[in-house]
Structure 1
Amino acid sequence: MNENGLNYIDLFAGAGGLSEGFIQSGYRPVAHVEMNEHAAKTIETRIAYYYLKDNGKIKSYYDYEKGKITREQLLEKIPKEELKTVINKEMSESTIKGIFNTIDDIKREKEIDKIDVIIGGPPCQAYSLVGRAQSSHMIVPMEDDPRNELYKMYVQFLKKYKPRMFVFENVAGIKTARGGAAFKNLQTYMKRVGYEIDYHELNAQDFGVLQSRKRVIIVGWLKGTGYEYPSFDVIHSKAEVWDLLNDLPVLKPGEEAIEHTMTDMRRLKKYVKDNDIRVKSDVLTGHIARPHTAQDIEIYKRTIDMWFENEQHERLKYDDLPEDLKTHKNRTSFVDRFKVVEGDMDHCHTILAHLSKDGHYFIHPDIEQHRSITVREAARIQSFPDNYYFEGPRTAQFVQVGNAVPPMMAKVIADK
């Protein structure tokens, strides 16, 4: 974790997708700041994975995944100073000084002189185009959402720690939120505290991820350093989305994988092997299918049928369903609320946190399974390795996966 001697602080860390890419690239984390308890625990568990792996004690991690030891027993094996790097607090004017103090303590204890990189991005719901389309139904209108101001917290970290570079990630909607004022203000604040910046809208699909996922990535560097925005070569795999799903146990709605490990590696596709998404010793977790009503199953089958019956790949429109299968009164918006994951293409549509609500938008492409995708399948599409364990109930796990930066994309950014 310290190959290149560079360190970083991860803000609004979520489940650690961006952080994972930086760790894989050889950076060492100084701190992860995350307000959500389940996501913070997921990062702690990931710290345990790396510590035990680096110290030849990985069996204890696998024992935890198999349920042979408790989480408390797992964390007892990890030095407290390692776990201290996870700061489970909400960022605000009233808490930021305390967070600074904790990070300063870590720096002293680990004899860290300077912070090399700050990474992260505020919760994206406040800038999301889908969210803003629904803002008329919300208690707090989007323009008054306090999350719109969280970028100021990020800038306060830049001002205090003066990292040589930073990476700020967010949804494409940040550019047009509040008529573009939010994005303009963000850039002004960043420049005011001493940074030159550049930004591009990047797609995870161009980084080898089998998913179309557009994000705005701002990169900043201290004025006078002569750094610049990295140049990224397009990486397109020849794999299909099926390759990510092929070797996982077949599940019907409501079923879960009984086997913790898959000993038969013969079904593993080249893409999964080459990108270390699965290795033989990995324990399979999170592969539990939601139960579905008979009505939803029938709709899922029709949706899958329409996609595969011709090369044009037709999507099912809600109004095309027989009356006995329609339950929603709203027939004019979200007419594509049922969507199959594009198994026979080199990328699928964007994995969203909405997966926590229902799986209608993420139907497994196998008509024999006629169900929505599992947490593990969503995590694979996001390029998380199978040894990445997500804490909390299933709904919380779906939110963590849906909000994450794909680690494969993050690693390329970290490398550059």
Structure 2
Amino acid sequence: MVDFARIQIVRQKIARLRAGAKPRVLDLFAGCGGLSLGFQAAGCEIVAAVEFDAEAARSHGVNFHPEDGRFAQARDITTTPPDKLTADLGLGKPESTFDIIVGGPPCQAFARVGRSKLREVADHPEAFRHDPRARLYIEYIEYVKACAPLAVVMENVPDMLNFGGHNIAHEICEVLAAEGYICGYTLLNAALYGVPQMRERAFLIAIRAEIADRVCFPAPSHQIDLPAGYEGTRAVALKLLANSDTHGPDSYWHPIPDADDELPHAVTAQQALEDLPAIHALSEMQNGNLKRGARRFDKPLPYPQVDAVSEYGRLMRDWPGFRAPDRLRDHVIRYLPRDYKLFARLSPGDQYPQAYQTAEAMFAEELARLHTNGAKPRKGSKAWKELRASIVPPYDHTKFPNKWRKMEAERPARTLMAHLGKDSYSHIHYDSTQARTISVREAARLQSFPDGFIFSGTMNPAFRQIGNAVPPLLAKAIGLELLKQINDGLALPVREVVVVRR
């Protein structure tokens, strides 16, 4: 039957926005709040979030609702239906509370679902028996059904377009189109939107058909020639588009936005980090200021006196609502005593094979020095093995070449991953005099989190939160474009859309 209640709810939300109210955002799988921060900067109100990880939930709460501890509580979406969320937070009825839903549910489960469509999975009450993680997408869609937002934004890895033989983005679009949404998806690279990081992700946008007849993605603000590895990843992600009869010119796919040659070049790692305090790891260790143990955020550092701060650095210091504190928080690094001298000798762009080769050379040099002094240990002896272990990393240099990488000052950083929470070798500082991996605050800068944004917990949880986040500047670009589409639609007569409930 026709869902007249849904029609009325959508019309009420349209009327509210026409009266000048801010769009209200619910962030699902929110993490510490990258999407939230971007949409807030675009002009939205962050009303609520659902996040399972306790430290990330605490970060989101302290940044967006510091006055109310209820918003900092971790919540499992599989046990927190929309009516429970809004009741717990005192927000009223779910269908009346949110105008936009954003988030990025994981897609791992659908490699095992077989050949069934997401539409069939979502409608099947026992679908979670295939894989409990399948419930995460189902719960996301259930939130959309229950909350009737005017727009939906979903983010995920490029593999979302080719996961176990499924184009998950296309299947989600089918589900949302049946709910009365105009849908589209594409790939966006953060470096094209002012983020000093070459991070490519899939984005899906859906807008109520009452106010839109198409979906648009933001035009790039910067240009860059992406390395070959990114082009290869993109080709794999797009393979199903090329080989599928169901993905023709009238489908949900949108071509990846092109950057104009006249745009400014992408923000570099040096532009992002050069105004932050230097940390010379080797001397810090020798002075006893850097020791083994959890890195806590209890020693804020003053900003250095510099001749000029880059435009990007100024943005990170002056972000409205998150202006830089007098002293910089969480500028802490890992204790890696074996590797500081090795970091200093690496060249920009070097990865683990080059690092391993350099370490072997350093070991040979040390053996030669000991030989000159008459103290060279016998090969294979305990002393020889201990000396080698103090210089040469133990990992197989023929595997995982990307495990280490020294950043290039004049290019954006490579993709930051959640694995930063375990080690930071993928992002060794470009400055050889500092000879270290990046700090938590530097990772935040590379992800476009402003200096006033607070990360809860110690170093490892903070790194993980940053690596998992959507870059706020990219989220802001998406939010601005989405709000423009919504506002353009609000200026026109409301289209008649009939959704028939089964």
What is the TM-score with the length of structure 1 in the denominator?
Answer: 0.77
Within a 5 Å distance, the mapping from 1:236-385 to structure 2 comes to: 236=222, 237-238=264-265, 239-253=267-281, 255=289, 258-262=299-303, 264=305, 266-274=307-315, 276=318, 279=323, 281-294=325-338, 296-303=339-346, 306-307=347-348, 315=351, 317=353, 320-321=357-358, 323=360, 324=388, 325-328=391-394, 330-345=396-411, 347-385=412-450
Paired residue secondary structure (2:56):
helix
Secondary structure of 1:218's aligned partner: strand
What SS does the aligned partner of 1:10 have? Answer: strand
Q: Give the SS at the match of 1:333.
A: coil
Cα displacement string for residues 56-95 of structure 1 (whole angstroms, at most 9, x for unaligned residues): xxxxxxxxxxxxxxxxxxx6xx2x4xx4445521111xx1
Note the C-alpha offset of 1:176: 1.4
Q: Which residue of 2 aligns with 1:209?
A: 195
Paired letter, 1:273? R
Q: Separation in 2 of the partners of 1:84 and 1:164?
A: 26
Residues of 2 paired with 1:272 and 1:334: CA distance?
Answer: 33
Residue of structure 2 equivalent to 1:56: none
The amino acid that maps onto 1:317 is P
Aligned positions of 1:9-408 closer than 5 A: 9-48=26-65, 78=67, 80=68, 83-86=69-72, 88-92=74-78, 95-97=79-81, 99-103=82-86, 106=89, 108=91, 113-123=96-106, 146-180=132-166, 182-236=168-222, 237-238=264-265, 239-253=267-281, 255=289, 258-262=299-303, 264=305, 266-274=307-315, 276=318, 279=323, 281-294=325-338, 296-303=339-346, 306-307=347-348, 315=351, 317=353, 320-321=357-358, 323=360, 324=388, 325-328=391-394, 330-345=396-411, 347-408=412-473
Contact 2:350 2:406 in 1 (8 A): no
Q: Which residue of 2 aligns with 1:7?
A: 24
Letter in 1 for 2:357: D
Aligned counterparts of 2:269 and 2:61: Cα–Cα separation in 1: 30
Q: SS in structure 2 opposite 1:249?
A: coil
Q: 1:8 to 1:336 in 2, by over 3 A?
A: closer
In the aligned structure 2, how far is the partner of 1:250 from the partner of 1:104?
47
SS of aligned partner of 2:175: helix
Is contact 2:94-2:146 (8 Å) kept? no
1:180/1:414 Cα in 2 relative to 1: closer, same or farther (>3 Å)? same
**Shift of the alpha carbon at 1:196?**
2.5
- Alpha-carbon spacing, 1:220–1:367, altered in 2? closer, same or farther (3 Å): same
> Computing the radius of gyration over CA atoms, which structure comes out larger, 1 or 2?
2
- 1:8-45 CA-to-partner distances (Å, cap 9, x unmatched) read 11100000010001111221122111111101110111
Are the equivalent residues in 2 in contact too, given 1:282–1:387 (CA < 8 A)? no
- One-letter amino acid of the structure 2 residue matched with residue 101 of structure 1: K
Q: Secondary structure at the match of 1:198?
A: strand
Q: Which amino acid aligns with 1:262?
A: Y
Question: RMSD between aligned alpha carbons?
Answer: 3.1
CA distance in 2, matches of 1:301, 1:108: 54
Output one character per residue of 1:195-252: Cα deviation in whole Å (capped at 9) or x when no partner. Answer: 2210010011111111111010000122343243224221125443112211211113
Task: Write the distance in 2 (CA, Å) between the matches of 1:188 and 1:231.
Answer: 19
How far has the Cα of 1:151 moved from its partner? 1.3
Counterpart Cα distance in 2 of 1:145 and 1:393: 32
Match of 1:409 in 2: 474
From the superposition, tell whether residues 127 and 402 of structure 1 become closer, same or farther in structure 2 (CA, over 3 Å). farther
Identity %: 30
Q: Size of the alignment, in residue pairs?
A: 358
Q: Flag the 1:231–1:336 CA change in 2: closer, same or farther, 3 A.
A: closer
Q: TM-score, normalised by structure 2?
A: 0.65
Q: Per-residue deviation at 1:365? A: 0.7
Tell me, what secondary structure is at the counterpart of 2:105?
Answer: coil
3-state DSSP of counterpart to 1:118: strand
Change (3 A) 1:113 1:327: closer
* Cα pair 2:27 2:50 within 8 Å, conserved: yes
Amino acid in the other structure paired with 1:103 = T
Cα 1:108–1:297 change in 2 (3 A) is closer
Q: Structure 2 CA distance, aligned partners of 1:28 and 1:110?
A: 17
Distance 1:252 1:322, change over 3 A: closer
| Runs of at least 5 residues in structure 2 that lack an aligned partner in the other structure | 1-16, 112-128, 223-263, 291-296, 361-387, 482-502
In structure 1, distance between residues paired with 2:425 and 2:200: 21
What letter corresponds to residue 292 of structure 1 in structure 2?
L
CA contact (8 A) 1:199 1:217 kept: yes
Residues 1:155 and 1:181: Cα distance change in structure 2 (over 3 Å): same
- Counterpart position of 2:13: none
Q: Tell whether the 8 Å contact from 1:246 to 1:267 is kept in structure 2 after alignment.
A: no
Secondary structure in 2 matching 1:146: coil
The answer as to whether partners of 2:181 and 2:207 remain within 8 angstroms in 1 is yes
